[in-house]
Amino acid sequence: MLFPTTIAGSLPKPSWLAEPDKLWPKWRLDGADLAQGKLDATLLMIKLQEDAGIDIVCDGEMSRQHFVHGFLEYVDGIDTVNKVEMGIRADRYKAMVPVVRGALTLRGRVHEAEARHARAHTTRQLKITLPGPMTIADTVADAHYGDKVKMALAFADLLNAEAKALEKDGVDVIQFDEPAFNVFMDEVSTWGIEALHRAIDGLKCTTAVHICYGYGIKANIDWKNSLGEEWRQYEKIFPALGGSRINQISLEAINSRVPLHLLSLLDGKDLLIGVIDVATDIVETPDKVASVIADVMKYVPKERIVCSTNCGMAPMHRNIAEAKLKALGDGARLARQKFI
């Protein structure tokens, strides 16, 4: 089937589980109720995706508060109590970040419960997302390794252990989120791809990397406004990505100033194309979605196009996110009729 659909990963959490409309929502349950609530929300998000016509479904990231810190919660060697202020993504944000104070080890499984629960309740392809090693290394302070690359490779080993276990849980696609690739473009080829390769080592399932211009929050919108008329970050990193062993590359396209001809640099890869904008509450029409697919088809063989969202929808209003899911499913269906 042409133009299968998926999402970047996250969806807004139900308001009974966590505060709505926030990127860092506080949980509204605790203990065993929280554990059960996360699984119930996972099931709900799978059902919403299936009903909207999403082919490769995700857990919606219902079990984590934040896409990086949800993983870090299960890592020993990190001090999450005495956080320090650090400029992250080349100082785009100031954030209070945890500090690596010893050798990094995993305390056990990270996403086992939600992956197995999702697997038990859908027959569709299942994707689980993990933060990428470069992005993690840019989101923590280092007081142990003394070398960012060494620390990132240590994280990559932990990600690999979790990814291998997810594959055993029956996950079909494991995606690493690397927004830092769009910030530290030179480092992508010097060590970013090497770290990703460590993270996917030995996997037989489909692997993906998501590289975007971020959620629709103010710091990102201000940053994007500073990037000029044409966003050429992808141009610097695509040659290295094109030569990597990652199967799928997830990119933003709709309402983006990325010149789409750059996509031809990723010859041979499956491309997850953002046809849904997460930085606006305006819901795309199926016609608009189909027109973005048509634009992308000028540079990418249609068999290699997977339709997705530009980024995660975690901080969006729930009703808007649901409408956008439906627009994604309907738009891909329309494109299948038009471009067969």
Which residues of this protein are in contact with Zn ion, per CB under 5 A?
A: 212, 311
CB 212, min distance to Zn ion, A: 3
Q: From the CB of 278, what's the least distance to Zn ion, in Å?
A: 8
Which CB atom, from 174 or from 212, has the smaller least distance to Zn ion? 212
Q: Measured from the CB of residue 312, what is the shortest distance to Zn ion in angstroms?
A: 6
Closer of 155 and 213 to Zn ion (Cβ): 213
Q: With respect to Zn ion, which residue has the nearer C-beta, 138 or 169?
A: 138
Place of tokens 């133009």: 3
- As measured in angstroms, the least distance from the Cβ of 182 to Zn ion is 9
Tokens of 52: 């909207």
For residue 7, give every residue at least 6 positions away whose Cβ sits within 8 Å of its Cβ, in sequence order, or none.
Answer: 49, 54, 58, 308, 309, 312, 313, 325, 328
Pick between residue 84 and residue 221 the one whose CB is nearest to Zn ion. Answer: 221
For the CB of residue 8, give the shortest distance to Zn ion in the complex, in Å.
Answer: 5
Place of tokens 């329309």: 334
Nearer to Zn ion, 162 or 177 (CB): 177
Contact 292, 255 (CB under 8 A): no
CA distance 184 to 205: 28
**Sequence-ordered list of residues with C-beta below 8 angstroms from that of 181, at least 6 positions apart, any chain:** 132, 134, 135, 188, 192, 209, 211, 237
Residue 212 or 327 with smaller CB distance to Zn ion: 212
Gap between the Cα atoms of 291 and 283, Å rounded: 15
Q: Helix H segments across 87-192?
A: 112-121, 133-137, 148-168, 185-187
Residues 316, 291: Cα–Cα separation, whole Å: 24
To Zn ion, the closest distance from the beta carbon of 180 in angstroms equals: 11
